[in-house]
Structure formats: C-alpha cells, structure tokens
Amino acid sequence: MATAAPHHQAAGSPADAGTGLGEAAYQAVFDATVAADERIEPRDWMPDAYRATLVRQIAQHAHSEIIGMQPEANWITRAPSLRRKAILMAKVQDEAGHGLYLYSAAETLGTGRDELLDKLHSGRQKYSSIFNYPTLTWADVGAIGWLVDGAAITNQVPLCRCSYGPYARAMVRVCKEESFHQRQGYELLLALSRGTEAQHAMAQDAVDRWWWPSLMMFGPPDDESAHSAQSMEWKIKRHSNDELRRRFVDICVPQAASLGLTLPDPELRWNEERGHHDFGPIDWTEFKEVLKGNGPCNEQRITQRRRAHDEGAWVREAAAAHAAKHSTKATTHEGRAA
C-alpha cells in the first residue's frame, strides 16, 4: 500500500530551487504525482493548503486517539474478568501508541507535538465528537469496540492509500490494530448478548446509545461537508462521508443480527433497488452541539487531558533538566522530555 522511495522525490525538492522551476512547475509535479497515485513525501513541494489540511486532519486524528483513551480507561479498574481487563489495558495502550505514530506523522509536516497538544488543550484543534459520550456500563466498552472502532476502520482503511506517505503508512499500522480491537468489542458484546438476561439488556442498552453517535463519526452529509471536495481531489480522502456511512450501515446490520441485538432505528431496512440499507435521519443538531463543546463529556474530557498535562509538567521538566545535565549519556532518554 504505502510505496517506499517514490521516484518523483527529487523533482520538487529544495535541491531544484536553482534550476529555474517556478511555482507552477512545482504545482504541476505535485498534481502529476497525485494523479499517478504516488505518494507525496515530507521533503517534496506541496501546496500550503494541502499541508495545512493534512496538519489539521492528522492532528485531529492523533488527538482523538489520546482523548479516546478516557472513555475506555474509565472501565479498566472495573473490568469484570482478568481476561477482559488485560484486553482493555492492551487496547488503551495501543491507542496511546497510535497517538504517538500520528503525532510523528504530523511532525513531518513541520509542526511539533507540543504545539499540537497546546492547540488541543486550548480548544483550537478538535478531536472526534464520539469521545464526548460517556461510558456508563461495561457493555459500552464492547459497543465502542464494535461500532466506534468499526466506524473508524471504515474511515481509515481508505487512508492507507492517502496521497501523503507518512500518514498512509501510519494508517496501515493503526488499521491492523484497530480491526483487532473491533473484533474484541464484537466478541465482548456477543458474550453479553448470550449471557444472563441482565447482561443481554446491558448490551442492548449500550448499542442503543452508541449507534447514532457512531453514524455521526463519518461527518456531515456530503452537501454540507466543507473540506470534502478538495480533500478528494488531493486524494487525502477517497470516498465521501455519506458513501462511507452507507458502507458502515451495510456492514453493521448483519453483524447486529448475529449478535442477537437490534439497532435503534425503526426506518432501517434493505432497499433492493439501491442495493443498500435505508436508514432514518441523523440528528445533526445534536452533532453540531457536541462539536461546539456542548456534548455530555466535552468539558470533562478536556479538563482531564489538561490536568494530566499540567500535573505532569514537573516530570517533563525533570526529564529535560536531567538530560541537559547528563547529555552525553542520556541521549537515548531525551525524547521523553519533549
């Protein structure tokens, strides 16, 4: 998927600056690279708007991994069996790792992790709206795995072919782990669904609460999506929001049936003509409110993130001070101070 050492690399590099190629020529090389489905790499020339879009999208993606640890970590200390506890801890650990890959990918575009975290903490950059919903029961952990990770994978698999190389390669690794999490979530719900009456009810309640927010993860409808057309032209995005949402619904309906659970949408039914499921209207007012910061957990999530960062400041300062004192032997640990 992600191609290494693209042969166009030298064309737009600063080394060519003296050869008389103007902006238009650089743009032409960029356009041709994208058109040929090849990768743009960090040292290639790229339009400023392309760079800015990628920084915004990758940072938001990284932030989502980090904030997304909270609703699940909420259940680590209460997981009902040691096996489930181990699975959940490993998952939350993977999410921190995904955040790290993604911040690294964003850094190849000339920004820094500190700067991005600062933008997250001050509300200037967003994270996925789904993580502003609370995890109220153990079954929510399963619903997040099945539906939220399922939606994330539907969104992210096409990103493995995204035109920006470092992002595409990060997505290959992320998607492998995400699909594992998704299967674990499904399996958790299956155990509940086939368990006691109370467990089954817990699973159904979780699916009822997470279904619509999961559909919102694909973003606004195509005719209201501000960045879609340009992102598709740049091959950052490969499919429209509505197209991915349809695909997700088509995948989930049979899975819900085999789970023995229902989806909370009376209008959901197969449309023979379209070859897709029809489904009911999404409450876009709720979506906009959550995006604006008025969801159930927006305040709590960002406060916890800021607190972890602020309360950890003395630790990062200590690491930096130690590294400075022992710079010759401490080089391998300096990264922690960043």
Partner 1 sequence: MTQPAPVTQPAVTPPVTDTAAAVLALGDDALVLSHRLGEWAGHAPVLEEEVALANIALDLLGQARVLLGMAGDEDELAYLREERAFRNTQLVEQPNGDFAHTIARQLYFSTYHLLLHDRLARTDSELAPLAAKAVKEVAYHQDHAAQWTLRLGDGTEESHARMQRAVDALWRFTGELFAPVPGLPVDGAEIQERWTEQITDVLTRATLTVPTGPQTGAWSAGAGRQGVHTESFGRMLAEMQHLHRSHPGASW
Question: Which stretches of the chain bind partner 1, using CB under 8 A?
Answer: 66, 69-70, 73, 76-86, 89-90, 92-93, 96-97, 99-100, 103, 138, 188, 191-192, 195-196, 198-199, 304, 307-309, 311-319, 321-323, 325-326, 333, 335-336
Provide the minimum distance between the beta carbon of 298 and partner 1 in the complex, in angstroms, as a whole number: 16
Query: CA–CA distance from 81 to each of 55, 76, 88, 149, 152 (Å)?
Result: 40, 10, 11, 22, 27
C-beta atoms surrounding 26 within 10 Å? 18
Provide the minimum distance between the beta carbon of 184 and partner 1 in the complex, in angstroms, as a whole number: 12
CB 30 within 8 A of CB 47: yes
Provide the minimum distance between the beta carbon of 92 and partner 1 in the complex, in angstroms, as a whole number: 5
Of the two residues 65 and 265, which places its CB atom closer to partner 1 in the complex? 65
Of the two residues 98 and 245, which places its CB atom closer to partner 1 in the complex? 98
> Residue 261 and residue 333: Cα distance in Å, rounded?
49
Of the two residues 66 and 109, which places its CB atom closer to partner 1 in the complex? 66
Provide the minimum distance between the beta carbon of 142 and partner 1 in the complex, in angstroms, as a whole number: 10
Of the two residues 288 and 307, which places its CB atom closer to partner 1 in the complex? 307
Nearest 5°: the CA angle 295, 292, 136 is 15
Provide the minimum distance between the beta carbon of 324 and partner 1 in the complex, in angstroms, as a whole number: 10
Could you report how far apart the first and last alpha carbons of the chain are, in Å? 31
**Secondary structure of residue 276 in the 3-state scheme:** strand
Residue ranges of alpha helices (H) inside 23-130 are 23-35, 48-67, 69-73, 82-107, 113-121
Of the two residues 5 and 82, which places its CB atom closer to partner 1 in the complex? 82
